[in-house]
Amino acid sequence: MARLFAPAAQGPRARVTRWFAAHVRHGATREIPVAAAGRMTVHCRNGEAWITHDGDPKDVMLQPNQSYAVRDRGGRMTVHAMKGDCIFEIQVDD
């Protein structure tokens, strides 16, 4: 009977990957919320994009089929479509 009411064994936490899609029209800028926890990767599928973070002088340029791993950059992240409409897949690994 004691086993029925004993706390469950704590095993390793399951990994979860979430995927989001984003579209930015040529010449437009869009804010992409940075994941509060976990690892975030931006995959550019179409167009050319300029990614910048508020307060960080290092900008990132992405072309089709390139990816960018967001690492502790903090601040707001914006994406500007430099050439053509940009299609992104955003991957968040918790």
Phi, psi dihedral angles at 23 (to 5 degrees): -130, 130
Domain boundaries, the chain: 16-93
Distance CA 78, CA 55 (A): 12
Measure the CA dihedral 13/89/67/73, to 10°: -70
Q: Structure tokens of 8?
A: 């469950």
- pLDDT, one tens digit per residue, over 30-87 is 998 887 777 889 999 999 999 998 888 889 999 999 999 987 766 789 999 999 999 9
User: Which letter does DSSP use for residue 55 in this model?
Assistant: T
User: Is 16-93 a CATH 3.40.50.800 domain?
Assistant: no
Its pTM stands at 0.77
The runs of H, that is alpha helices, within 1-94 are 2-5
Distance CA 70, CA 4 (A): 44
